[in-house]
Amino acid sequence: MTGLMIKEFAKLSDGEVELMLRAPLLACILIAGADGTIDRKEIKEAMGFARKSARSHSILEDYFKELSQDFEDKLKVLIQAYPYESTQRNPLIISELAGISGLWGKLGKDFSIHFYSMLKSLAGKVASSSGGLLGIKSIGAEEARLVGLPMIQEPRL
């Protein structure tokens, strides 16, 4: 993951760029795995969102072009890097995602607001992609607790 094409990342350290590029993947893993299982349907939903967003011509367009390359492979590699048990995995991911809040000032107002909004939309898409009763879109209790990504502070710039 390079992040070189994304001008908003100019003021970030390599570790911070890495976090920004991992953030949607982390949000996917957190929400998809909140109920203990990450299913293919949830991963497909996240990939579709990334692909669609890459073509959206928003301030995040360059970001999504970078992110959507090998999205599924990046997601699988990241899933393997974390503990299998959600009770062990979730605190690690929550802690990482919380670090994004400290980057808003370096990223600029427009990018930060759009990025935050995109992460919350992605989390909602993933949460509602695995059906509840008879496939009717519903969100489990743990997903409901995490879907708003409460660990990430809203950008106040």
pLDDT bucket at 134, cuts 50 / 70 / 90: very low
Residue 133, pLDDT score: 42
Exposure string of 34-69, with b = 16+ CB inside 10 Å and e = fewer, is: bbeebeeebbebbeebbeebbeeeebbebbbebbbe
Residue 75: name the closest of 13, 15, 116, 21 by CA.
Answer: 21
Most confidently predicted of 2-16, 77-91, 139-153:
77-91
Residue 127, pLDDT score: 82
- Tokens standing for 29? 């893993």
pLDDT bucket at 70, cuts 50 / 70 / 90: confident
Domain boundaries, the chain: 7-146
Answer yes or no: is pLDDT of 62 > 60: yes
pLDDT bucket at 157, cuts 50 / 70 / 90: low
Q: Could you tell me what percent of the chain has a pLDDT over 90?
A: 40
pTM as predicted? 0.85
